[in-house]
């Protein structure tokens, strides 16, 4: 009966020595890293608008923000409760606005 295990093909000595020299390998990695660092900023320049979004979207979501501030004032007077639902409405408005602004930029 023949065994099912097969032997791995023999690897010649010259084939084993074909590995990359460490200096060549390091030089290639350094060059690739430098090229990646050079390309990193210009590729995405002018697209990211996260700094402008809060101000732009806050001006569009004044009504939910005013309701949240009214709730905060009531909570300060009463001393208990929370305004999580009012804040959630405001955040939803800002998120909706932010998505519209960002996707308009990408078009």
Dihedral angle computed from the Cα positions of residues 67, 86, 102 and 48, in that order, rounded to the nearest 10 degrees: 100
Distance CA 37, CA 64 (A): 43
Q: Is the pLDDT confidence value at 15 over 70?
A: no
Give CA separation, 101 vs 52, 64, 86, in Å.
10, 19, 23
Give CA separation, 16 vs 2, 10, 26, 54, in Å.
30, 11, 20, 59
Radius of gyration of the CA atoms of the chain, in A: 30
Entry pTM: 0.49
Would you place residue 93 in the very low, low, confident or very high pLDDT band (cuts 50, 70, 90)? Answer: very high
Q: What is the mean pLDDT of residues 42-54?
A: 57
Q: Is the pLDDT confidence value at 2 over 70?
A: no
């Amino acid at each position: 009966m023949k065994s099912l295990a097969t032997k791995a093909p023999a690897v010649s000595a010259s084939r084993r020595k074909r590995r990359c020299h460490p200096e060549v390998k390091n030089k290639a990695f350094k060059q690739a890293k430098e090229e990646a660092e050079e390309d990193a900023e210009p590729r995405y320049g002018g697209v990211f608008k996260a700094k402008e979004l809060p101000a732009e979207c806050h001006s569009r979501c004044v009504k939910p923000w005013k309701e949240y501030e009214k709730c905060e004032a009531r909570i300060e007077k009463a001393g208990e409760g929370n305004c999580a639902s009012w804040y959630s409405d405001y955040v939803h408005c800002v998120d909706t606005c932010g998505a519209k602004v960002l996707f308009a930029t990408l078009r």
